Amino acid sequence: AARFEAGDPIGAASAFRRALAIQPDDAQSWARLGESLVRANGGTVDGDAEAAFRQAVRLDPDQLGARFYLGDAALARGDRAEAEAMWSPLIAVLAPSDPRRGELQTRLAEAAR
């Protein structure tokens, strides 16, 4: 996590992979690995990051950060239904006044057009 915060996403990904070799059922580490890979790829959710996020959600469906990225990847490939499935729990926990909630709802609405 310190490497991630220090702006070293490749080092962070390596560290999270080592942590997961020791504790493979840690959903938070899977999610952080995915985030590190996204940051290392300039914001793009590639196959490795998506696999890490899917494992995080498999282990803990309440991994909202992982759900965000999975929804983002789904929209990028035109799969609005998958994006909605990933984002609905996230939207549900965000306060109505939270601008992130509105942004997610807007993105889903625009994808429906």
- Topology of domain 2-112 in CATH is 1.25.40
* pLDDT the model gives residue 101: 95
* pLDDT the model gives residue 46: 94
Domain range annotation of the chain? 2-112
69-102, pLDDT tens digit by residue? 999 999 999 999 999 999 999 999 999 999 999 9
- CA–chain centroid gap for 110, Å, is 20
28-55, pLDDT tens digit by residue? 999 999 999 999 999 999 999 999 999 9
Q: Is residue 67 predicted with pLDDT exceeding 90?
A: yes
| pTM to 2 decimal places | 0.89
